[in-house]
Structure 1
Amino acid sequence: MAPPPPPRSVRFVSDCFVKPPQLPPQSDHPLHLPPWDLAMLSVHYIQKGLLFPLPPSCLDPGFDRPAFIHSFLGKLKRSLSSALFHFYPLAGRLATLKRPDPPFYTVFVDCANSPGARFIHATVDMTVANILSPTYVPAVVLSLFDHDRAINHDGHALSLLSVQVTELADGVFIGLSMNHVVGDGLSFWLFFNSWSEIFQAQEKGAIDVVQLSHPPVLTRWFPESHPGPLSLPYTDDPSSFLARYEAPELRERVFHFSADTIAGLKAEANRQCGIPNISSFQSLTALVWRCITRARRFPPSQVTGCRMAANNRARLDPPLSPEYFGNSITPLRTATTVDELLGGDLGWAARLLHTAVAEHSDAKLREWNQEWIKRPQVYHLDKTFDPYSIMMGSSPRFNKYGNEFGLGKAVALRSGYAHKFDGKVSGYPGREGGGSIDLEICLPPATMALLEADTEFMAAVTVS
C-alpha cells in the first residue's frame, strides 16, 4: 500500500535500508506469532517520536550545518544497525505460509529475507516552537512519521521498522514507526531505549555491537497446549479479515498534570473509596473518563466504557520477563451508565477501574488465549473501540525522555496518525519527571471545546 503524499512543507532528502551487522543462526527460522501478536494484524503501526532542539552552536551563522547533519545521520545509522543485531526481527518482513491439505494459514516474521529497516532523512521549514506553541497538535506532525495509515499486515511489503529523521530550522524530530504485530508499547520503548544506549556507548568509543543493559527476550510465549504455529481461519484473500480505518475530524491536545496534582487526585480517590490501593493512574483515568463523558452529553441511560491497556507480563504464572519483546497487552474494559458514572464521585469511578485491574489474572489471560485459538479474530479499530467509551493507551511508566542522541533531552513527545479516534487518550511521563503526566487526548472539535470548559478537568490541568 502506497502511503499518501506528505504535506508540501516536508521534503524527503534521502532514504535507505539499514541491516544488522550480522544475523544469529536462529534468524533463518520463521518467528511464529502467538495470539496477542496475530490479533494486531489489522490495526496500525505504533508511531511515536521525540523532538530535540539543536545545540545553540549549530545555529551560529558560520556553523557548518550540512557537515553536522551528515555526521549525525551516520551515527544514527551505525547505532541503529547495532540495535538491530539485538532486535533482528525488526529488520525482517511478515510472510504468510499457506497449505491446502489440511487447510493451514499463518502469518510469521521472516527475519532473513529483507532489505532491513527503513531510514529516512527529511526536512521541514518549521521551528520547534511551530510544533509546540499551538494549542492543538499541528497536522504537520503526522508527516514526521513513515508508514502513515499503514496497517500491520502491510508489513509483508513494508519495513517492520521505519525511522524518519526530520530537520527543523532549530531542531530535529526522530519519529519511529514499528509494526504492532512484532511488539507492543513496552517493546517499542525497549527498542528506543536500547538504540539510545548504543548511540551513547558508540560516542564513547564502543565497538559496533554493544552489550545492552536490558537485552530483549525474543522467544515468543505460547499457551502450553498450543505451542504454535497457529492456523488462522482465512482464505487466500486478506480482505476477508482486514479493514482500513479512517479517523474522523479530531482535535488533538496534550494536557499536563503536575506531580502534586496527580498526588492530590490519588489521595482524594482513596479517601472517597475508603481503601488505600487506588493507583495514581487509575485516579487520573477516572477523572478523564468522567469529564470526557460529561463533555459528550450522552443521555443518562447510555452505557459508557473505559478501556485501559494492561501489561500482562507480570500477571502470567510464571511471569514473563520485563524485557519480553512482543505483544503482551490486553485492553481491559470497565462499563457503567452515564448516570451512574457522573452521579458518583471520583473515588467511585476509580474503584471500578481498580477492580478490573485487580481481577486481571493468569487464569483470565489463559482463558482469553484458549478462546482466541478456538475462534481467532483480529482487532478492528472501528469495532473494538466504540464511540461511547474512552481508551487509555501507552503508559507514563515507559522511559521516554531518557533517550538521548547527542542532542540532550528531548523537549516533547508526539505521535503519528496511528490509533487516533474519538476518545483515544495516551499517557506519557511529564518531561520534568517526578510523577508528572502528559495526556494526549483526541476528540471531535465540539467535544474538545466542552472538555476545555469543564471546570473539574481544567482545575487539574497545569497550563504552561
Structure 2
Amino acid sequence: MAGVGRYERDENQLAREEAIATVDVLTSEVVVPAGETPAGAVWLSNLDLAARRGYTPTVFFYRHNGEPGFFAADAMRDSLARALVAFYPVAGRLGLDGDSRVQVDCTGEGAVFATARSGHYALDDLMGEFVPCDEMRDLFVPPAPAAASCPRGGALLLVQVTYLRCGGVVLGMALHHSIADGRSAAHFVETWASIARGAPAADAPVPPCFDHRLLAARAPARTVLYDHPEYKPEPAARAATASTYASAIITLTKQQVGALRAACAGASTFRAVVALVWQCACRARALPPEAETRLHSMIDTRQRLSPPLPPGYFGNAVIRTSTAATAGEVVSSPVGHAARRARAATSQGEDYARSVVDYLEGVDAMNLPRSGVSRADLRAISWLGMSLADADFGWGSPAFMGPAIMYYSGFVYVMNAPGKDGAVALALSLEPESMPEFRKVFADEVARLA
C-alpha cells in the first residue's frame, strides 16, 4: 500500500472525500457475555495507569472467500458474546476504588457491536487507498464514547463489521488501552476468532490471566536507580509535535529485509528496520547535525521478568524506553550503528522493567505526559509478533491488519506484511512537509542495500 495520507487536505480533496467516502451504519447494539461472569473489580497496575488514555483503533481487511454466510452478523455477534465470558473484564467499565485509583468494574455491561455497509469501497480500492488517519478510523471504527475516561466511562470494546461493495469485509476494533496493550488485544482477537471457527469457549488457545498485581511495585519501596526520562515532560526546547501529520504504509520484501539485516550485523528485523527509518527521518527532516534526536520504543516485559508473566497475561506489560544521539551521528554513520543504538532502547531486562514500575508508584501515573514526541524524534512499536493467521474467523486470514490512526507525527509501527512470508510493512507518520523527502530517501537507501 503506497501513497501518503494527510490530515491537511485542500478544498478539492475534501470535496472528493465528502462525495465518495461514506459508510452507512446498519445496526448498533451492546453485546453482553453469553454466560455468567465474575463480579467485583480488576486492579490495574502502574503500567495500565501509565498507558495512553483512550482506545487503540485497528482494522482487519478480509477478502470474500465465496462461502455463504461470510462474516454474518449473527455469527460474529454470538461468538463475541462467548468470547466476553472468558475475557469478562472487557465487558466491564472503568471505575474507581476507595482510594480513587482507577480499576475495572466487572459489571458485564458488554461491548458495542455495529454493522455497516459501504457502497463505495471494494477491497482492492481500499487496499490501495488506505493509510491510518482520522477519516479511515471514522469510517470503519465505532466512535469512542464521550466519557471514555474514568470514572464510569463507556464500553471498553467497540467493534464494527463493514460490508464492502465487492463482498469483502472490514473488521474495525477499538479496545481501551487502560486494559490491554497490543499483545493482549491480539490475544483477545485470537480467542474470539477461534470461537467463531467453532472451538468451545472453554478451549481458549491461551486462557487469559487478569492478575495485574504480578506487575505491582516492589515492597518495601526500592530506590529507583534509573532516570526514566520517557515518563517525564519534554524540556520546553523539545516541545512535542503538532497532531497534524502525513501517514503512509510502505512494504519491504523478504529480500530487502534480509539485505538490511545483513548490513546491521545480525540485528533483529525490528531493530534493523527502525534504524533505517531513523536515519531517513533525520535526513528528511533536515535536522542540524548537532540536534539531539531520540528513538523511543515500547518493549514487552512478559518474558523479561523472572519468573516470566503467564502466557495469557492480559493487560499492559510494555514499558517506554529510548536512546539519544545527535542527528549528525545517526545520518553519517552506517545503518548498523543506528541499529546498535536501537538495541540500547530495546534490550533492557528485569531490573529496568521493575524500576519503571517502582518509579511510577511515586508519580501521578494517570497524568503522565502523553502529547507525542519532539519533531526530531521517533516512537517505534513492533507488531511483528502478531500472526495474521490467528485472526481467521472461519473465512480466511485477513488481507491486511494495521492501525486505523496515527496519533501524531513521528509514530512507526513495524508489522508482518500479509501473505508475504518474511516481508515487513511499515505504518508511519511524519510532518506533511517531511514525508515526500522521506519516501524518496528511504526508497534510495533500500535500493542501495540490494
TM-score range normalised by the length of the shorter chain: 0.7 to 0.9
Match in the other structure for 2:5: none
Confirm or deny: 8 A CA contact 1:131 1:141 kept in the other structure. Answer: no
Q: The residue matched to 1:38 in structure 2 has which SS?
A: helix
Determine whether 1:263 maps to 2:276. Answer: no
Equivalent position amino acid for 1:193 in 2: E
Confirm or deny: 8 A CA contact 1:395 1:426 kept in the other structure. Answer: yes
Match in the other structure for 1:438: 425
Match in the other structure for 1:273: none
Over 3 Å counting, the alpha-carbon distance change for 1:425 and 1:81 in structure 2 is same
Rounded to whole Å, the distance in 2 between the matches of 1:331 and 1:88 is 28
2:284 to 283, 286, 295: 295
User: 1:456: Cα distance to partner?
Assistant: 3.5
Rounded to whole Å, the distance in 1 between the matches of 2:449 and 2:334 is 19
1:217-246 residue CA offsets vs partner (Å, 9 max, x unmatched): 12112336459xxxxxxxxxxxxxxxxx99
User: 1:435: Cα distance to partner?
Assistant: 2.1
Match in the other structure for 2:32: 19
Confirm or deny: 8 A CA contact 2:217 2:361 kept in the other structure. Answer: no
Over 3 Å counting, the alpha-carbon distance change for 1:129 and 1:433 in structure 2 is closer
Equivalent position amino acid for 1:329 in 2: V
Q: TM-score normalized by structure 1? A: 0.81
Confirm or deny: 8 A CA contact 2:193 2:394 kept in the other structure. Answer: no
Match in the other structure for 1:29: 40
Confirm or deny: 8 A CA contact 1:53 1:411 kept in the other structure. Answer: yes
Match in the other structure for 2:143: 147
Which sits farther off after the overlay, 290-299 or 209-218? 209-218
Structure 2 residues not aligned, in runs of 5+: 1-16, 221-239
Over 3 Å counting, the alpha-carbon distance change for 1:332 and 1:225 in structure 2 is closer
Match in the other structure for 1:119: 113
| Count of residues paired in the alignment | 408
Match in the other structure for 2:349: 361
Give the percent of matched residue pairs that are identical in Structure 1 and Structure 2: 24
User: 1:109: Cα distance to partner?
Assistant: 0.2
Equivalent position amino acid for 1:298 in 2: L
Determine whether 1:327 maps to 2:316. Answer: yes
Over 3 Å counting, the alpha-carbon distance change for 1:88 and 1:246 in structure 2 is farther
Q: The residue matched to 1:402 in structure 2 has which SS?
A: helix
User: 1:368: Cα distance to partner?
Assistant: 1.5
Within a 5 Å distance, the mapping from 1:392-403 to structure 2 comes to: 392-403=380-391
Rounded to whole Å, the distance in 2 between the matches of 1:150 and 1:336 is 40
2:58 to 21, 38, 48: 48
Determine whether 1:192 maps to 2:202. Answer: no
Q: What is the Cα-based RMSD across aligned positions, in Å?
A: 2.7
Match in the other structure for 1:233: none
Q: Which runs of 4+ in 1 moved over 6 A?
A: none
Match in the other structure for 2:175: 178
Equivalent position amino acid for 1:36 in 2: L
Rounded to whole Å, the distance in 2 between the matches of 1:405 and 1:139 is 27
Match in the other structure for 2:205: 213
Q: The residue matched to 1:256 in structure 2 has which SS?
A: strand
Equivalent position amino acid for 2:363 in 1: R
Rounded to whole Å, the distance in 1 between the matches of 2:313 and 2:397 is 26
Rounded to whole Å, the distance in 1 between the matches of 2:419 and 2:341 is 30
Q: The residue matched to 1:445 in structure 2 has which SS?
A: coil
Which sits farther off after the overlay, 76-85 or 133-142? 133-142
Match in the other structure for 1:77: 77
Equivalent position amino acid for 2:419 in 1: E
User: 1:338: Cα distance to partner?
Assistant: 0.5
Q: The residue matched to 2:304 in structure 1 has which SS?
A: coil
Match in the other structure for 1:453: 440
Determine whether 1:10 maps to 2:23. Answer: yes
Rounded to whole Å, the distance in 2 between the matches of 1:444 and 1:403 is 32
Rounded to whole Å, the distance in 2 between the matches of 1:179 and 1:22 is 22
Rounded to whole Å, the distance in 1 between the matches of 2:150 and 2:65 is 38
Within a 5 Å distance, the mapping from 1:215-294 to structure 2 comes to: 215-220=207-212, 221-223=214-216, 225=218, 248-270=243-265, 276=266, 278-294=267-283
Equivalent position amino acid for 1:314 in 2: Q
Equivalent position amino acid for 1:213 in 2: P
Confirm or deny: 8 A CA contact 2:210 2:314 kept in the other structure. Answer: yes
Confirm or deny: 8 A CA contact 1:254 1:438 kept in the other structure. Answer: yes
Q: The residue matched to 1:369 in structure 2 has which SS?
A: helix
Confirm or deny: 8 A CA contact 2:130 2:136 kept in the other structure. Answer: no
Match in the other structure for 1:62: none
Which sits farther off after the overlay, 27-36 or 395-404? 395-404
Confirm or deny: 8 A CA contact 1:429 1:435 kept in the other structure. Answer: yes
Rounded to whole Å, the distance in 2 between the matches of 1:296 and 1:95 is 43
Over 3 Å counting, the alpha-carbon distance change for 1:130 and 1:151 in structure 2 is farther
Which sits farther off after the overlay, 88-97 or 124-133? 124-133
Confirm or deny: 8 A CA contact 2:145 2:155 kept in the other structure. Answer: no
Rounded to whole Å, the distance in 2 between the matches of 1:457 and 1:142 is 32
Confirm or deny: 8 A CA contact 2:57 2:137 kept in the other structure. Answer: no
Confirm or deny: 8 A CA contact 2:264 2:335 kept in the other structure. Answer: yes
Over 3 Å counting, the alpha-carbon distance change for 1:38 and 1:226 in structure 2 is farther
